Every structure is written in C-alpha cells, then in structure tokens.
Amino acid sequence: MDKVCIEDLQTQAVIGVYEFEHEAPQPLIIDLELETDFSRAFASDDLGDALDYDAITQAVRKFCENSRYALLEKLAGDLIGLIQEHFNVDKVSIKIRKPEALKGAMASVWCQRTRAEMSKD
C-alpha cells in the first residue's frame, strides 16, 4: 500500500473537558498518514487518480474550526470518518497534538483505522 503524509497541519478547535476550554478555540497540530493505491496515478500523472493533499488539508481544517468536542479521541474518530467518506483512502492514521493542554508536556492522541474497522463502529 502507498502512503501520503501530511505533517504539522495547524488548525484550531473548541475542545476540552473543562469549562474554561469552551471559551475560545485552542491550537491543534495534526499529522495524517493516508494509505491508498497509487497505481493509477503512476500511469496517468493525473491528480484525479491521486490524493489531493490541498483538498484534504482544507477539509480537515474547516471541520476542526467548526467543531466543538470534549475529547481529542472523538475528534480523531470523526476526522478519520470524514477523510474516508470524501477521499479514496483505505486506511487513515492520525495524530492530534494539543500544545496548550499541559504545562511542560505535549498532550496527543494517535489513532489508526481502515474502512472496514470504521464500518464496524
């Protein structure tokens, strides 16, 4: 399987379990690893046969900026679903970092799901 990686995607969301976290958006840093088959793109050199990194980045950013969540885990699962629904991706790995969550440390979650695993949930 072939992979596209999008690293250090910076966005923001209203996210957190504490009341003060609901007052304003917080920064998030997202890494994506997207698995698919590049065979058609190898032959065609056509964006229509590949993954459009810009479209994926814009969709993730827009989704986060319009969201409200308590848990990074729920946001990660919903982003995996969004990507698999709108793009030809067989497996999504996502890491979401929340730089302002902890003093002196970086809070993050890492999740990975195939289409088949997401359809079971």
Q: How far apart are CA 15 and CA 22, in angstroms?
A: 7
Where does the pLDDT of residue 1 fall: very low under 50, low under 70, confident under 90, or very high at 90 and above? Answer: confident
Helix axes 72-86, 53-65, angle to 10 degrees: 140
Global pTM?
0.94
Write the pLDDT tens digit of every residue in 2-50. 999 999 999 999 999 988 889 999 999 999 999 999 999 999 999 999 9
Q: Where are the domains of the chain?
A: 2-120
pLDDT at 83: 98
When pLDDT is averaged across residues 83-90 and rounded to a whole number, the result is 96
Please provide the CATH number assigned to the domain covering 2-120: 3.30.1130.10
pLDDT at 35: 97
Mean pLDDT of the chain: 95
Q: How far apart are CA 45 and CA 59, in angstroms?
A: 23
Burial 5-14 (b: 16+ CB within 10 A, else e): ebeebebebb
